[in-house]
Structure 1
């Protein structure tokens, strides 16, 4: 089972260029010459009926004349010819194609039709397609430059994925003098087939890639995008710059890529949850390329600054505070080392001012002392080219000092002419260097952000366990009833019923249509009460002064009813008024007004917001965003990101608020938006909290029908753990077996399982010699996107030994998984059962569960590859009704398939 089906885009053994030409400036000619001059070891064929030779090499009129197999097709022909070429390639072993040609969707309706034909041809022939309208792809380690650009990337460990060919060109031009090398460069173009998710899947497991840079304009498939980001970011740093953050830029991005663009806050929240570092400008992307490409990570937020000038040190310190970094407090031993190495009149603090006349050795001693300090996570060395300074000599000493620790050491040699040689030395020594202290601090902040966001990335919310399970079906029936009446906005009583179904504490509301009904409701609920206008057309009751608080007697109830209704009719005569709701008044003792909201982003689905509540919520703009599903860590992070967090503690004789109750409500809101895709907007405001309880006082919910083709949790960017797939079965020999989807925390379980397999079983499963799963493979196998793939493991409980006795532990005995093919209704599967657990029916049981899940996901065909020598597996496949055929290209492999 392949982990990626785009590998031939990066590692083809043979290439053909359609549209190769000797015409000056032609795209096909440039691509052909770039492949020839980049060091590609395999054959590169030119195909163009207009030429006998191109670049003094044979040129073939068509594939029939060439009559040779090749894996990668590079196409630079008119748009209307591309689909036909793709169809021809299907019979010559082509696995991937790069369509450089323009004239597709970016040129209107006719171009969009042509693009659809190309994609259909590619899927028909099982060819993955990059483009159209793409600069191309580079793989320096493979000697491949399949672009029509003028720059050749040097070898390195940084990968670049961009929706803009111009950004690729700029990055390559920038990287030269800084000696930043690339493992891969991919221009997605229109991304009609291969998109971010596909390339991220490949680069996540690519041993040559240590860091991934991305230029994003828009996102089409949020689930693929986010799951690809999360999988890659678990293994290596991913840095993103987002274009189109504001309306004007968004319009430009749509016209350029045809993709929709999310809002600024939502995109930032998604990046944080994905463990990604988001930067704002291309210059910052360049800075990130340097600092992450150097391969060192920041273990915290405490930095030390070493400088030969007070001014640059202060600038760096100010910037550090702005970026949320902390100036480290030196340990006593560090202070002693600095006192011994520096003049008496050094700064005696952080920043460490080594004085303008500092010789190179003084710099080295200062940097070595700082990196050795356990209170320091990273160091910035700054040099102003004063008359006494020798920039190159100091640079050499800093490079030596940096090698004494794995902590990041950055340099800012200010100036130009006098520091040019020093900058070259830093580049050769793999020390990130920047023209100004502020940019250098920004780079350190990127490392700190990566460290923080990794904590969010590692949160994998499982099923939410309540003392009382929510009544999901009851809530759904209420929503269906509202929509059956032609309404999309729930009334206050209906909205509170939904909250109650999910065990969220609310105040009881009674609808009154007359003053007397209001009085009866007040007497039943007990004074004091709150009265609110009830109208499905009013987003905010305060717009018509439609709320009365602390009503304490009967006469006031009837008078308030008339005043509320009459004022609403006068101010908003067009709205429907159904009456007034009466609720018991929540105690305002030690109360804080909060708000929880849900919004539906057009790209990333439901987003949960939390912050200060009340009538000033739109003015205060105090909110934090979270991407569901949430867990306790994510919830606490959201709360800490708000200003209202400080008001929840004890102050002005008010006791601390009940944070646990608030966290429970946020958790339940998370489950609500997971289970009810019909909810497109919700606002609980105010949410009143005190030291004892947190209560939803008012709520507004908007709903809509979910698309009929939408799968379970298909409205979410992150698929929750599919608890409904857990099965408890008993094997024929009486062994109790649990079949469940794999979880991220099963990494050790999976590793132990693979280690325990015999050498033959490992070879049968992975079709290669393998001792154990690499860290990258382990992440890939356990951190899965349940929407596009599934891994079901079979586990049994056994007794394990611990220090104080015996404990029951889970042991994996088998695993079956499938991965769906992009744009198709088929999937590729793999299965393996532990050697000592064979012949107990585990393989058949896992496969039946896997097939049923694939069928429910709408997949029609399940296929796999089995080694001919693996007779046990072939027998299992036949017993399950799979068709077995010989692989036409490899007689040692059987292709097994089944229509589900």
Structure 2
């Protein structure tokens, strides 16, 4: 379940308070007071056998006496009573329950955990949804619902705030009251026994009264549901999150550099970024970010121009900008010349544009007008500090007037932010900026942080819709070899694959590796080196030693057989002295790989407790854990996502090349990361993979050393937070004319092919499919069709079997989009005009129906224009039922109930 019956919690028509009280200071009394005084327009029924009336309203002795079945019940009775209360409510038909009470397994208390499970068992047969336990409650100011024991009631607004912590709700209420900030919803989820972040995000994403969603997150329970909900919501409205526990240590001991580096907070960071959400550090930044995003468009880039009447605050803003990864805009000579004409000779002649402390309003307006005309700044931050020789309010009014003139114009206009420093005069200025819809901040650092939040938000949004480049060639991994290697090690009770086995597995997935042989003793090591060539490198093979360099277990640049033999004997001696109980299986021998100007990188993945496999990339070498230059991403990856991942590291700029050092082959690095991500998706036994170093140069990449840890067979793709490309749906199909095609799920790389296919449609086909004339398909529409969440959507296409995505043509496509509960899915279908009457539409529909049945979707439906007789005829052949709305007789609703089998991952 996800949004099922959430409306009973957040839009109830009637409410019961189980445990309502008149005892001063009790939770039951505060709940009753808040509910009765919130303005809710519906019956509120207190239940408590000890009272005749509460807040002047008749009190009922038990649930059976209630005159009507409540949509929502708020429970604040002792923990042991809650399971039976929920059972009674559920059996009566109550669809939503808020459990305020604590004592349901906090700290893993066994008795509390049993009560928690009993409560869920009582609710689930009747699909009754539960918020809590151990929560502060819920507030929906727009309908006068205050089912909480909060001390304040916020005004109606368009911001939804969802949190695990009840204490955070009261803190935010205090913070917001002083600023007159209103809310559409305030939801305290507590222990999230049932309703969690994914459920509430799904609901709020489609709520027309919610403009932005703010989250305070301590932990995620269902990562895939959360990611699907967040990715969908972030395409519709800002989703901004504060994550508590940023500096918590990783709870899992790791057997690889990758596992050691991928701390849990960095994984959350990667998840939020992939979902298109904006992460901020504090509650103050949370609300500042939403106010900024609500009042202005995010800037197109990270170049900031600073206009100030004080050099000191301009420097503070510049320091903050550089520290947060932004860029100081470089003003072109013509802009400098224009500023020279309106500013005194003593101005700064650069960015920051210091217009001197005596600057009147006109000087501000003239300078702002010139800066706004430049194409070299994405945003302008206007600063003002109070002086005795200039009027700060005059400057504020001049900026407001100039911004009004700019808004009425056309073309490129940088985003405008303001910061009037101080209290007395600055307060009035900030009030005027708020009235004019111009973001304003109290400190230069706060203004810069807000600017960078907008930059990050735009980047995340663009990443959601950016079309990745096509892969250079078709590639199919050698699954059989990879599986045999993993299963052989598992059968032998080994947790770590040998280095040669790890390299074999990488090679099976197309990752270039250095040739490696295994030798059981020093003499055989010398013989192997003779075959492979010199100079050679040898390394110890021992399942008992995690890092070979700890015992001098790696020796490089050996020039002949004697040197190899001597190095091997020395390794044996050091291992026996340092780790006498360690078993030495032998040595791996390989030729030295010499690539001029190469960089040592690290790439791999580990498995996170919440989000499953997480891919890591960064600067490699023996000091990798000291350098800590890495970025993380959730699989699956394409070339664009891999490139973004690389760009977030410090070594990225070096990889671009400098002086006489040629740039690294970035496509080869990106391909390697996508294939590592594919291993993570395909092989559930592989828990950690570590390539260190991955040698990268202008000539490509090669894995010099690799380490793979395996474990229990996981839940297939279910363990991934983002459902990967479902390769099992690929199949060859034959059209009525005998032509063979590939039927497969759509990929983001298919967007160019989708545009080409759209060009083959006739105006009549477009009207019948889209219910309106269209000359072309926008990038956003095409991106939303190709960049789908396979967990909730599926688009099957018919395409060329022998070309890579993007270059292959798209001849037909069918798309279904399921509701978050998976009860129903709406379909749409299109076939190129030049390929109609070849049975492609029937093939697409038959396969998508089979897919929906397997996924457990209960019904497929769609709207068809009455005049689209070929589509209606196909629906009749497939068993669809037809329904006509008397008010829309031109549109026929077709539905197909499905007998479902067990769903897949």
TM-score w.r.t. the length of structure 2 is 0.83
Cα distance in 1 for residues equivalent to 2:495 and 2:740: 47
Change (3 A) 1:418 1:241: same
Q: CA deviation at 1:489?
A: 0.4
Q: Which secondary structure does the structure 2 equivalent of 1:247 belong to?
A: coil
Cα distance in 1 for residues equivalent to 2:459 and 2:783: 19
Cα distance in 2 for residues equivalent to 1:774 and 1:130: 41
Q: Which secondary structure does the structure 2 equivalent of 1:184 belong to?
A: strand
Change (3 A) 1:141 1:230: same
Structure 2 contact 631–646 (Cα < 8 Å) conserved: yes
Aligned pairs for 1:491-640 (under 5 A) are 491-640=498-647
Pick aligned residue for 1:716 from 706, 716, 720: 720
Q: Which secondary structure does the structure 2 equivalent of 1:9 belong to?
A: helix
Q: CA deviation at 1:532?
A: 1.8
Q: Which secondary structure does the structure 1 equivalent of 2:899 belong to?
A: strand
Change (3 A) 1:192 1:677: same
Q: Which secondary structure does the structure 2 equivalent of 1:714 belong to?
A: helix
Q: CA deviation at 1:701?
A: 0.9
1:28 aligns with 2:35: no
1:410-447 Cα distance to aligned partner (Å, 9 max, x none): 33222223433333333444433322111111111111
Cα distance in 2 for residues equivalent to 1:690 and 1:614: 15
Q: CA deviation at 1:166?
A: 1.7
Cα distance in 2 for residues equivalent to 1:390 and 1:671: 62
Cα distance in 2 for residues equivalent to 1:47 and 1:844: 58
- Residue number in structure 2 paired with 1:210: 211
Structure 1 contact 178–427 (Cα < 8 Å) conserved: no
Pick aligned residue for 2:458 from 447, 451, 454: 451
Cα distance in 2 for residues equivalent to 1:86 and 1:462: 53
- Residue number in structure 2 paired with 1:473: 480
Cα distance in 2 for residues equivalent to 1:817 and 1:517: 60
Q: CA deviation at 1:661?
A: 2.8
1:389-420 Cα distance to aligned partner (Å, 9 max, x none): 44444434433333433754333222223433
1:43-79 Cα distance to aligned partner (Å, 9 max, x none): 4333333333322233334444333244333333333
Aligned pairs for 1:681-692 (under 5 A) are 681-692=688-699
Aligned pairs for 1:277-296 (under 5 A) are 277-296=278-297
1:694 aligns with 2:690: no
Structure 1 contact 235–776 (Cα < 8 Å) conserved: no
1:648-695 Cα distance to aligned partner (Å, 9 max, x none): 455565444333333332222222222112111122122233433422
Which deviates more from structure 2 when the two are superposed, residues 567-576 or residues 138-147? 138-147
Q: CA deviation at 1:174?
A: 1.5
Change (3 A) 1:277 1:353: same
Structure 2 contact 169–186 (Cα < 8 Å) conserved: yes
1:77 aligns with 2:101: no
Structure 1 contact 464–671 (Cα < 8 Å) conserved: no
- Residue number in structure 1 paired with 2:101: 101
Structure 1 contact 305–351 (Cα < 8 Å) conserved: yes
Pick aligned residue for 2:673 from 666, 671, 676: 666
Q: CA deviation at 1:838?
A: 13
1:50 aligns with 2:46: no
Which deviates more from structure 2 when the two are superposed, residues 645-654 or residues 236-245? 645-654
Q: CA deviation at 1:575?
A: 0.8
1:757-800 Cα distance to aligned partner (Å, 9 max, x none): 9999999xxxxxxxxx999999988765433x343557699xxx
Aligned pairs for 1:719-738 (under 5 A) are 719-729=723-733
Change (3 A) 1:497 1:20: same
Q: Which secondary structure does the structure 1 equivalent of 2:462 belong to?
A: helix
Cα distance in 2 for residues equivalent to 1:277 and 1:55: 43
- Residue number in structure 1 paired with 2:10: 10
Q: Which secondary structure does the structure 1 equivalent of 2:601 belong to?
A: strand
Q: Which secondary structure does the structure 2 equivalent of 1:497 belong to?
A: helix
1:791 aligns with 2:794: yes
Structure 1 contact 509–583 (Cα < 8 Å) conserved: yes
Structure 1 contact 462–720 (Cα < 8 Å) conserved: no
Task: Calculate the aligned-residue CA RMSD, in Å.
Answer: 4.3
1:823-858 Cα distance to aligned partner (Å, 9 max, x none): xxx74444567899999999987676456546655x
1:484 aligns with 2:491: yes
Q: Which secondary structure does the structure 2 equivalent of 1:681 belong to?
A: strand
Q: CA deviation at 1:501?
A: 0.9
Cα distance in 2 for residues equivalent to 1:533 and 1:548: 9
- Residue number in structure 2 paired with 1:87: 87
Aligned pairs for 1:228-627 (under 5 A) are 228-247=229-248, 263-330=264-331, 335=336, 338-339=339-340, 341-403=342-404, 404-405=406-407, 407-458=414-465, 466-627=473-634
Structure 1 contact 833–842 (Cα < 8 Å) conserved: no
Aligned pairs for 1:849-860 (under 5 A) are 849=847, 852-853=850-851, 859=856
Cα distance in 2 for residues equivalent to 1:757 and 1:119: 50
Q: CA deviation at 1:357?
A: 3.0
Cα distance in 2 for residues equivalent to 1:132 and 1:781: 39
Structure 1 contact 459–631 (Cα < 8 Å) conserved: no
Which deviates more from structure 2 when the two are superposed, residues 84-93 or residues 459-468? 459-468
Q: CA deviation at 1:726?
A: 3.6
1:862 aligns with 2:858: yes
Q: Which secondary structure does the structure 2 equivalent of 1:438 belong to?
A: helix
Cα distance in 1 for residues equivalent to 2:338 and 2:23: 67
Q: CA deviation at 1:897?
A: 6.4
Q: CA deviation at 1:487?
A: 0.4
Structure 2 contact 793–815 (Cα < 8 Å) conserved: no
Cα distance in 1 for residues equivalent to 2:532 and 2:30: 81
Which deviates more from structure 2 when the two are superposed, residues 496-505 or residues 63-72? 63-72
Change (3 A) 1:792 1:63: farther
Cα distance in 2 for residues equivalent to 1:874 and 1:65: 52
Q: CA deviation at 1:883?
A: 13
TM-score w.r.t. the length of structure 1 is 0.84
- Residue number in structure 2 paired with 1:800: none
Structure 2 contact 392–426 (Cα < 8 Å) conserved: yes
How many residue pairs get matched? 855
Q: CA deviation at 1:129?
A: 1.9
Q: Which secondary structure does the structure 2 equivalent of 1:713 belong to?
A: helix
Structure 2 contact 467–783 (Cα < 8 Å) conserved: no
Which deviates more from structure 2 when the two are superposed, residues 58-67 or residues 736-745? 736-745
Which deviates more from structure 2 when the two are superposed, residues 697-706 or residues 37-46? 37-46
Q: Which secondary structure does the structure 2 equivalent of 1:60 belong to?
A: coil
Which deviates more from structure 2 when the two are superposed, residues 238-247 or residues 329-338? 329-338
Cα distance in 1 for residues equivalent to 2:280 and 2:219: 16
1:510-564 Cα distance to aligned partner (Å, 9 max, x none): 2222333223222222333222222122222222112222222333333333222
Structure 1 contact 262–603 (Cα < 8 Å) conserved: no
Cα distance in 1 for residues equivalent to 2:49 and 2:563: 92
What are the ranges of 5 or more consecutive residues in structure 2 without an aligned counterpart?
A: 253-261, 408-412, 772-776, 801-807, 883-892
